[in-house]
Structure 1
Amino acid sequence: MSAATDRTATLYRMVMPQHTCPFGLKAKALLEREGYTVDDHWLKTREETDAFKAENGVRTTPQTFIAGERVGGYDDLRRHFGKPVADPKAVTYKPVIAIFAMAALMALAASWAAFGTLAPVRAGEWFIAIAMCLLAVQKLRDVESFSNMFLGYDLLAQRWVPYAYVYPFAEAAAGVLMISGALMWVSIPLAFVIGTIGAVSVFKAVYVDKRELKCACVGGDSNVPLGFVSLTENLMMVAMAIWMLRYVF
């Protein structure tokens, strides 16, 4: 067998008028990055796809074959090349890190646009307010799902269920008002109240009751563990509310 043949892989993937399989595209790109020439076979209809699955005894596509041996789907291909495969159920802080990083960059950009410099105090204020807005967006994507997770640990929501639905809107309103500097008589007590209740709830659930829960801070479908990050989010709101009092008095 020639060296060229050794570096050839056969890929079967769905490419239909209404659907192109994203994992098929990823598998093809991965094979090419690994130096393989790809013999790319398109499954152009549902019937053709079902026939391929039945013939090869597989449940999904894409499917990759190397040196006549079936490697499997995209995750199997990653394992074949010794690359990590993400566990969709694993806990992770990535969503929170991404939100805080983007909030920081947006705050610095706003400071530069407004003042022509990276004003640390104003940028810090905007960072917290923008982070509140971005976190609220994650909750507002699916308020029902958020409320289900939130009710698992928030003390006020457990006593008054509508609060679980009010919270995302309250957080968003406080964040927007703090960015604008308007209606501080609304934003300051709002941030202080929801932040305080949240901090107490998280502290009790995690550090007193020792419960292992997922945090609703980035929405009801998150795998972010309830703990330090959740407590920090709420304490930031409390600190921001207290800090903003300097503009009132």
Structure 2
Amino acid sequence: MKHTYQITGMTCSSCETKVKSALQMIENVTEVVVTKADNSATITMNKHIPLSDLQQALDPKYTISAIQFNETEELAKSWFETYKPILLIFFYISLVVVLVQINSERFNIMMAMQYFMAGFFLVFSFFKFLNLKGFAESYVMYDVFAKRIPIWAYLYAFIEVSLGMAYLINFNPLVTNIFTFTVMSLSIIGVLQSVFNKRKIQCACLGAVFNLPMSTITIIEDALMIVMSGYIIINIF
């Protein structure tokens, strides 16, 4: 269901971000769209949330009031429809990895993982850069490191594209994989906390372009990079 509210007290884009972040932290809230231009906030929720609870989540200088109470029950999407973007991405990357080695005498698992990781980081960073600010706002909601150092949310997109290029050109495999293992191990902590606590928040893996919910799929993404980088490190030694 969707409810539209009026928000007073917002004076800049920073206020817009603060209000959105505060509302997204509320249990059963799945999506929040805040617009300073018309002082509105459209909140998608699993069940009705009292206005008093919304107000309590906000800084006292902001006031929220109902201006529209038309509930819109959205048609439930199937699992495939929800995760179709990310499934297609994994399919295309896997297809490219297979085609790269199709003329080889034998399938090289190390090379396959290297190219898969290159495609993973390059594609996922691309979607983050389409709306870097939107990605950062979503990422800081659950990443343990970004919560303490918000600039990390912006740096993360640059780290991903750098790792993608490093894998593509086979730059110092040991250093590249150790760095990947470390970064993804830090990243998965916040993901695990959010999924196990059943927080209904947007996954930032594809930036702010697609509205993907945080779920086991997100855990698999990070875990896959951890396992692959760990496997390569072990084989290098």
5+ residue gaps, structure 1:
1-84
Residues 128-174 of structure 1 show CA distances to partners (whole Å, capped at 9, x for unaligned) of 33122211111122211110111111110000011001111112222
1:195 is aligned with what amino acid?
A: M
1:104 pairs with 2:87: no
Deviation at 1:101, TM superposition (A): 0.7
CA RMSD after TM alignment: 2.5
CA contact (8 A) 1:167 1:194 kept: no
Residue number in structure 1 paired with 2:112: 123
Residues 185-217 of structure 1 show CA distances to partners (whole Å, capped at 9, x for unaligned) of 43122211221111111000110x220111110
Residue number in structure 1 paired with 2:170: 181
Identify which of 228, 231, 243 aligns with 2:216.
228
The whole-number CA distance in structure 1 between the counterparts of 2:131 and 2:221 is 20
The whole-number CA distance in structure 2 between the counterparts of 1:102 and 1:118 is 18
The whole-number CA distance in structure 2 between the counterparts of 1:187 and 1:120 is 17
The whole-number CA distance in structure 2 between the counterparts of 1:116 and 1:136 is 33
* Mapping of residues 1-249 of structure 1, within 5 Å: 92-112=82-102, 115=104, 118-207=107-196, 209-246=197-234, 248-249=236-237
Normalising by the residue count of structure 2, what TM-score does the alignment of the two structures yield?
Answer: 0.61
Residues 20-50 of structure 1 show CA distances to partners (whole Å, capped at 9, x for unaligned) of xxxxxxxxxxxxxxxxxxxxxxxxxxxxxxx
Q: Cα distance 1:134–1:144, how it changes in 2: closer, same or farther (>3 A)?
A: same
The whole-number CA distance in structure 1 between the counterparts of 2:171 and 2:193 is 34
**How many residue pairs are counted as aligned between the two chains?**
161
CA contact (8 A) 1:195 1:238 kept: yes
Residue number in structure 1 paired with 2:4: none
Q: Cα distance 1:223–1:155, how it changes in 2: closer, same or farther (>3 A)?
A: same
**% identical aligned pairs:** 24
CA contact (8 A) 1:215 1:225 kept: yes
5+ residue gaps, structure 2:
1-74
Deviation at 1:105, TM superposition (A): 0.8
The whole-number CA distance in structure 2 between the counterparts of 1:241 and 1:128 is 9
Q: Cα distance 1:239–1:97, how it changes in 2: closer, same or farther (>3 A)?
A: same
